[in-house]
Amino acid sequence: MASPTVFMPPRHYLNDGYGIKSWLLTRDHKRIALLYLASVTFFFFLGGAMAVLIRLELATPVGDLVTDETYNKLFTMHGVMMVFFFLIPAIPSVLGNFLVPIMIGAKDLAFPKLNLASWYIYVIGATFTTYSLVTGGLDTGWTFYTPFSTVASSSNVISAALGIFITGFSSILTGLNFIVTIHRMRAPGMTWFRMPLFMWSIYATSLIMVLGTPVVAITIVLVAAERLFHFGFFDPRVGGDPVLFQHLFWFYSHPAVYIMILPAMGVISELVAAFCRKQVFGYKFVAFASVAIAVLGFLVWGHHMFVAGISVYAALVFSILSFLVAVPSAVKVFNWTATMYKGSVSWQTPMLYAIGFIGLFTIGGLTGLFLAAVGLDVHVTDTYFIVAHFHYIMVGGTIMGYLGGLHYWWPKISGRLYNEFLAKISAAIIFVGFNLTFFPQFILGYLGMPRRYHAYPPEFQVLNVLSSAGASILGVGYLLPMIYLMWSLRYGRIAGSNPWGAVGLEWTTTSPPPTENFAETPIVTWEAYDYQAPVEHHVA
Amino acid sequence: MAGRVDNLYFFLLAISIFFSVLIAGLIVFYAIRYRRRDPDSVGTVLHGMMALEVGWTVIPFIISMVIFVWGASVFFAISRPPDETLNIYVVGKQWMWKFQHLDGQREINELHVPVGRPVKLIMTSEDVIHDVFVPAFRVKADVIPGRYTNLWFQPTKPGRYHLFCAEYCGTRHSGMTGEVIVMEPSEFQTWLSGGAPEGSLASAGAKLFQDLACNTCHRPDAQGRGPVLEGLFGKTVQLQSGETNTVDEAYVRESILNPAAKVAAGFQPIMPTFQGLVTEEQLLELVEYVKSLQALPQVQTR
């Protein structure tokens, strides 16, 4: 990897215009990616701060740190911020925005102005929701279940819902932009099956964003309308059905889980290939597994409702379909593992995140089987078992993938290298802290501790203390990258165009890339992850 | 039931441990065995192996289906109560549980049941969605406003067990807890007869039936403007719409609150709604009264 010609290019997207206007009016997908990076990082730490308070409260069985009302608002806003303003946009809008055009050899996304508009829509939506937070908060849980959200809650349901509604359009437009770009803007020779797997997962994710998000938007409008005008869609007193809301909500929000995890899976495919210097084992199977997950994801929403009074047979149909999702997920895990076989396995930071992801996603996925088995789900649903399961997927999966990707492409984004030692340490801290936080919650759930409880019976305290201790370690693990990545912007070593010795179009251009990404449009004559040919051959 | 759920749980735990250890073991082994020693080395080219891909698609599929069938059979047992059950009514409201025994005993946040007998809870909510969860019995069911849901269990050991509300229901959600107190049958009988000042549920229903003047139309002699209710519960009735409907708790409840929804064939839709005039608890009394009406026109009291 010792390349003699590392240099900072004289002209790149970061010095192509200075001042606030050059950022706020930019149409460069790379700058927009950085706008998103700043925004989602803000919401990550805001949501994280709420998690800190939640874990502090739960260190003791009695509700003594905050009132029950405040506690309910904390977990609600933690969920809303993390899901809608961090997890859903994080990988697609930051890494996807930066990489989709570069990875397929394009100058920009298909609709650069729309891309900027998507960021503004996100900011406006996030502002509404933040407004509802500072003016009294929201206590419905991020799931907005009716009739609690429509008739009982006295918190700011409408402004929070409006914020999520608006942000949904950002998702839809970003998805649309990616779909059109991947269809229309691929460089000559970049066939579908020569695309990096990250592009396949972004494509599958974009399909869900475009098809699913309108449903949650409509559902949220119904909740707001019912609150304002008492239409009675969900009110049994006038013939409505409160459970109807759950069908509508999960019809989007289950696919939304795949909006969060599929891009992370794509990142992991890139990391495993780059740090084993080897083509991903079973490329086509991994690619089609992404599409299969996206499609099946739309057919399993009822597994959130096994105890919500749906019929026995409906539950069985949703159960068997949920098991089917396990198959493509397992295929991916096996293929990643097989990619390491006879690879040239580097232990650099992004690979540590990839390994962490595979391990944690495996546990998250396997515990999903517990929940799909309907007779067992009855006992563990609505307990800490669920909380642990989805944090293994969302935090152990998505955030591990996001951080791994951020470390992998950071030299491309910034042109500089971060401190490898600190990065390895913090990856280890995150892994340990994560498991200590969430593994005890599986046990708590099986023992019967319900979720969303401000106070709990004293026999659950030991496991809760372990979890809170883990959370404090995890918090440190998340703060460290924030510090050393910022530090590297000024003091990091110059990266050069290909610090990892990786293949892929993004490594053929300078770090940071020029505004137009490539000096001339690349012509692709090689397969994805072609590590056998000499490294120079793919410089266009 | 707890045993069946736990067996499935430990089976899944074994599968999870096997695959977690397998994957983690392979990753660690490969990471060490194929560690990059020369900074310029690349991986060996391996062409995908169809047999492997098919294998690790089919094997997880088969395992999934085994778990599915097992989970489904446990679920059937959880959702199908036996024919003979001790029925207890449950009304959830923010933030308390109200239990009504057929004999008239009422309890709040405490539920006394006898050991060894299947118990069926017939549940509804006065406001938002709640959920009865008894971890020791491995059962849980949402309690939904506007309808009845059921939950059944058969306690096997006397003792006190946690009862939680498992569906988030607002400010004092975590305070909406209680205890299931499982007693020896004889103790339970003593407890049950330890004072039920208001008489049985059905007799309270009978009084309400008079007070609300239901009896002017629903007369046992078939001379009223409404259907005869005696002996009706559990039967299948022909509806105006041509459909048929089984008379269960939900149908009685709906017919009181929304009489025009499913009018019995041969009758005019003239009954007024009692929406807002009767509480959920009074509805349960009326339901229990209708249930108690045998074909012989007399009120059966226990």
- What pLDDT, on a 0 to 100 scale, did the predictor assign at position A154? 87
How is residue A151 annotated by DSSP? I
Q: Note whether residue A30 is domain-resident.
A: yes
Which among B8, B169, B173 has the least Cβ separation from residue A376? B8
Q: Note whether residue A19 is domain-resident.
A: no
- What pLDDT, on a 0 to 100 scale, did the predictor assign at position A536? 45
Q: Judging by beta carbons within 10 Å of its beta carbon (0-12, 13-18, 19+), is residue A106 exposed, middle or buried?
A: buried
CB-based contact (8 Å) between A320 and chain B? yes
Report how far apart, in Å, the C-alpha atoms of A156 and of each of A53, A72, A76, A79, A359 are.
Answer: 21, 13, 12, 15, 39
Between B216 and A124, residue with greater pLDDT: A124
Confidence of residue B197 (pLDDT cuts 50, 70, 90): low
Q: Note whether residue A41 is domain-resident.
A: yes
CB-based contact (8 Å) between A323 and chain B? yes
Contact call for residues B172 and B261 (beta carbons, < 8 A): no
pLDDT above 70 for B299: no
Q: Note whether residue A16 is domain-resident.
A: no
Chain B stretch 111-130, residues whose beta carbon is closer than 8 A to a beta carbon of chain A:
127-129
Nearest C-alpha of chain A: how many angstroms from B277?
12
- What pLDDT, on a 0 to 100 scale, did the predictor assign at position B196? 62
Residue among A70, A521, A529 at smallest CA distance from A270: A529
User: Distance between CA B65 and CA A420 in Å, rounded?
Assistant: 45
Q: Note whether residue A270 is domain-resident.
A: yes
- What pLDDT, on a 0 to 100 scale, did the predictor assign at position A239? 83
Residue among A333, A400, A317 at smallest CA distance from A365: A333
- What pLDDT, on a 0 to 100 scale, did the predictor assign at position B224? 83
Whether residue B245 is found in the same domain as residue B174: no
- What pLDDT, on a 0 to 100 scale, did the predictor assign at position A100? 98
How is residue A454 annotated by DSSP? S
**Segment B36-62 mean pLDDT:** 89
Q: How many domains does chain A have?
A: 1
Interface contact B147-A347, CB threshold 8 A: no
Q: What is the DSSP string of A223-286?
A: HHHHHHH---SS-GGGT--HHHHHHHHHHHHHHHHHHHHHHHHHHHHHHHHHHHTSPPTTHHHH
Chain B partners within 8 Å of A452 (Cβ): 168, 173-174
Q: Note whether residue B135 is domain-resident.
A: yes
User: Distance between CA A491 and CA A416 in Å, rounded?
Assistant: 8
Chain B partners within 8 Å of A382 (Cβ): 131, 133, 140, 166-167
- What pLDDT, on a 0 to 100 scale, did the predictor assign at position B301? 46
- What pLDDT, on a 0 to 100 scale, did the predictor assign at position B302? 44
Whether residue B144 is found in the same domain as residue B174: yes
**Segment B250-274 mean pLDDT:** 89
User: Distance between CA A2 and CA A13 in Å, rounded?
Assistant: 25
Confidence of residue B226 (pLDDT cuts 50, 70, 90): confident
User: Within chain A, which residues score under 50 in pLDDT?
Assistant: 1-3, 536-540
Interface contact A373-B71, CB threshold 8 A: yes
Q: How many domains does chain B have?
A: 3
Nearest C-alpha of chain A: how many angstroms from B260?
12
In tens, the pLDDT along B99-115 reads: 999 988 889 999 999 99
Whether residue B180 is found in the same domain as residue B250: no
- What pLDDT, on a 0 to 100 scale, did the predictor assign at position A390? 96
Q: Note whether residue A392 is domain-resident.
A: yes
How crowded is the C-beta side of A182, counted as CA atoms within 13 Å? 26
Chain A stretch 27-56, residues whose beta carbon is closer than 8 A to a beta carbon of chain B:
none
CB-based contact (8 Å) between B50 and chain A? no
Q: Note whether residue A204 is domain-resident.
A: yes
Q: Note whether residue B219 is domain-resident.
A: yes
User: Which of B174, B194, B214 is the endpoint of a domain?
Assistant: B194
Q: Where are the alpha helices (DSSP H) in B34-49?
A: none
**What's the CATH number where B214 sits?**
1.10.760.10
CB-based contact (8 Å) between A446 and chain B? yes
Chain A stretch 207-246, residues whose beta carbon is closer than 8 A to a beta carbon of chain B:
236-237, 239, 241-243
User: Distance between CA A374 and CA A306 in Å, rounded?
Assistant: 7
Residue among A321, A155, A390, A141 at smallest CA distance from B166: A141
Q: Note whether residue B53 is domain-resident.
A: no
| Maximum CA extent, chain A | 76
Interface contact A379-B5, CB threshold 8 A: yes
In tens, the pLDDT along A56-73 reads: 999 999 999 999 999 999
Chain B partners within 8 Å of A323 (Cβ): 64-65, 67-68
Which among B20, B145, B275 has the least Cβ separation from residue A366? B20
Pair of tokens at residue B137: 């019995």
- What pLDDT, on a 0 to 100 scale, did the predictor assign at position B225? 87
Interface contact A236-B79, CB threshold 8 A: no
Q: Note whether residue B29 is domain-resident.
A: no
In tens, the pLDDT along A192-246 reads: 999 999 999 999 999 999 999 999 899 999 999 999 998 889 998 888 899 999 9
Residue of B nearest to A357 (CA): B24
Contact call for residues A404 and A353 (beta carbons, < 8 A): yes
Give the three-state DSSP class for B246.
strand
Pair of tokens at residue B59: 């094997």
Interface contact A453-B173, CB threshold 8 A: yes
Whether residue B207 is found in the same domain as residue B190: no
Q: Note whether residue B51 is domain-resident.
A: no
Whether residue B117 is found in the same domain as residue B212: no
How crowded is the C-beta side of A171, counted as CA atoms within 13 Å? 34
Whether residue B179 is found in the same domain as residue B275: no
Q: Note whether residue B139 is domain-resident.
A: yes
Chain A partners within 8 Å of B8 (Cβ): 373, 375-376
Whether residue B213 is found in the same domain as residue B190: no
Whether residue B71 is found in the same domain as residue B109: no
Whether residue B255 is found in the same domain as residue B240: yes
**What's the CATH number where A251 sits?**
1.20.210.10
Nearest C-alpha of chain B: how many angstroms from A254?
18
Confidence of residue B1 (pLDDT cuts 50, 70, 90): confident
- What pLDDT, on a 0 to 100 scale, did the predictor assign at position A195? 96
Which among B15, B128, B171 has the least Cβ separation from residue A69? B171
Interface contact A344-B149, CB threshold 8 A: no
Whether residue B144 is found in the same domain as residue B206: no
For β-strands B96-101 and B86-93, DSSP reports them as: antiparallel
Q: Note whether residue B50 is domain-resident.
A: no
Whether residue B90 is found in the same domain as residue B180: yes
Residue B16 domain boundaries:
1-21+59-75
CB-based contact (8 Å) between B136 and chain A? yes
- Predicted-complex ipTM score: 0.90
In tens, the pLDDT along B123-146 reads: 999 999 999 999 999 999 999 999
Query: With pLDDT > 70 as the criterion, what percentage of chain B qualifies?
Result: 96
pLDDT above 60 for B116: yes
**What's the CATH number where B92 sits?**
2.60.40.420
Nearest C-alpha of chain B: how many angstroms from A327?
6
Q: Note whether residue B9 is domain-resident.
A: yes
CB-based contact (8 Å) between B164 and chain A? yes
Interface contact A324-B36, CB threshold 8 A: no
Q: Note whether residue A15 is domain-resident.
A: no
CB-based contact (8 Å) between B187 and chain A? no
Average per-residue pLDDT for chain B: 91
Confidence of residue B46 (pLDDT cuts 50, 70, 90): confident
Nearest C-alpha of chain A: how many angstroms from B276?
9
Residue A461 domain boundaries:
25-538
Count residue pairs from A and B with Cβ separation < 8 A. 280
- What pLDDT, on a 0 to 100 scale, did the predictor assign at position A238? 83
Which among A330, A359, A366 has the least Cβ separation from residue B16? A366
Interface contact B20-A362, CB threshold 8 A: yes
Interface contact A375-B75, CB threshold 8 A: yes
Residue of B nearest to A144 (CA): B168
